[in-house]
Amino acid sequence: MARTTAEKRPTEPDEAAEPQPEETAPEEPTPADAASEEAEPEQAAPEETDGEEAEATEETEAGDAADEDAAKKASRRRLPRISDPVLLVAAVLVVVAGVCAGYFGWSWYGAAHDDSLAYSRDRDAVLRAAEQGVQNMNTLDYRKVEQGLASWEASTTGDLHQQLVQGSAQFSQQVRAAKTVTTAKILDAAVTELDDRAGKAGAIVAVQITVTPPTGTPATKQSRMRAQLTRTSSGWKLSALGQAPVGTTAG
């Protein structure tokens, strides 16, 4: 019996010691909890601040994007003036035309006052006078003797002119008696010397002369003539005329 009692002893204290759950009354909020609850709404303030900053950032970025778009549009409006090949070429041509106009205008002015241009003009005048003078001196029609002799005198100056004036009557009689018609064609000519300051020049003229008699076949020959010219108040005129030496070329 003692053993049985000993075995039952642990059981009794267990039954007696098992606590029963007690109903816990709701705890009243403490001042700390109240303060915590009151403080919680204030934590939303940073969230509102962050939103405002985000909105401000978005507005700034939107403004920057708008400015960038406006700059791009303005740039696109300006680009054709530079990148458009047609406009670029046109602009370049305008500039080049202006530069060329100024350059050629100045070049023309300088050339017009250049001594070499004056020399070239004198050379051309000498060449024309030599060709015309030699042609006139080898042209004479018996039916128009007086007109032909007047042309001889108008093409000459100095001693040659005096010789023609003095011998005009004799020439007229000879041509009328022969009843010949003499014509000339200039083949080539070249100025051999020119002293524009002294007013003296020389030329060699190749001429083809045709003499037509009253009956028979015309006779044609080619000749080279050396001419001396002198500048007068009415232009360059022949002051001497003769056959060019053999081997002399015009040019």
SS (H, E, C) the chain: CHHHHHHHCCHHHHHHHCCCCCCCCCCCCCHHHHHHHHHHHHCHHHHHHHHHHHHHHHHHHHHHHHHHHHHHHHHHHHCHHHHCHHHHHHHHHHHHHHHHHHHHHHHHHHHHCCHHHHHHHHHHHHHHHHHHHHHHHCCEEHHHHHHHHHHHHHCECHHHHHHHHHHHHHHHHHHHHHCCEEEEEEEEEEEEEEECCCCEEEEEEEEEEEEECCCCCCEEEEEEEEEEEEEECCEEEEEEEEECCCCCCCC
Q: Please tell me the predicted confidence (pLDDT) of residue 105.
A: 58
Sign of CA dihedral 225, 231, 236, 237: negative
What parts of the chain have a pLDDT lower than 50? 1-17, 19, 21, 24-25, 31-32, 34-36, 38-48, 79-82, 248-251
191/251 Cα distance (integer angstroms) = 8
Token representation of residue 133: 């003078």
Q: Which distant-in-sequence residues (6+ apart) come within 8 Å of 157 by Cβ?
A: 230, 232, 237, 238, 239
pLDDT at 16: 44
pLDDT for position 117: 87
Maximum Cα interatomic distance, the chain, rounded to a whole number of Å: 206
Residue 198 CB partners (closer than 8 Å, separation 6+): none
pLDDT of residue 173: 93
Report the alpha-carbon angle 105-110-115, nearest 5. Answer: 150
Instruction: Note whether 190 and 124 are within 8 A (CB).
Output: no
Do residues 205 and 227 lie in contact, with contact meaning Cβ atoms separated by under 8 Å? yes
pTM: 0.55
Quick: pLDDT tens for 78-110: 544 445 565 556 666 666 666 555 555 555 555
Instruction: Give the Cα separation of 239 and 230 in Å (integer).
Output: 6
